[in-house]
Amino acid sequence: MAQDGPPSLPIPQQAEFSASLMKRVEGRRFEAQVFAKGDRIRLEYKYAVKTELGYSSIEIIRLDKRESWFLLAQRRQILPVPVKPEEILPIQPTLPGEKNRTLVGDATTIGRPSKLYEVRVDYNGRNERFYEWVDVETGVVLKLVSQDRDWSIEYLRIRFSPQPGYYFDEPTGYKRWVPTSTSQERG
Q: Could you read off the pLDDT of 45-104 as tens digits, one per residue? A: 999 989 999 999 999 999 889 899 999 999 999 999 998 766 677 777 888 889 999 999
Q: Which residues pair with 106 in a beta bridge?
A: 115
Q: What is the percent of the chain where pLDDT is above 70?
A: 87
Residue type, 102: T
Nearest to 93 by CA among 26, 151, 141: 141
Is the pTM of the predicted complex or chain greater than 0.85? Answer: no
Is the sign of the CA dihedral 93, 94, 98, 102 positive or negative? positive
**Cα gap 93→103, rounded to integer Å:** 12
> In the prediction, which pLDDT does 154 show?
95
Domains of the chain: residue spans and CATH: 15-170 (2.50.20.30)
CB atoms within 10 A of CB 175: 10
| Residue 75, phi then psi, degrees to nearest 5 | -90, -15
C-alpha–C-alpha distance, residues 152 and 147, integer Å = 9
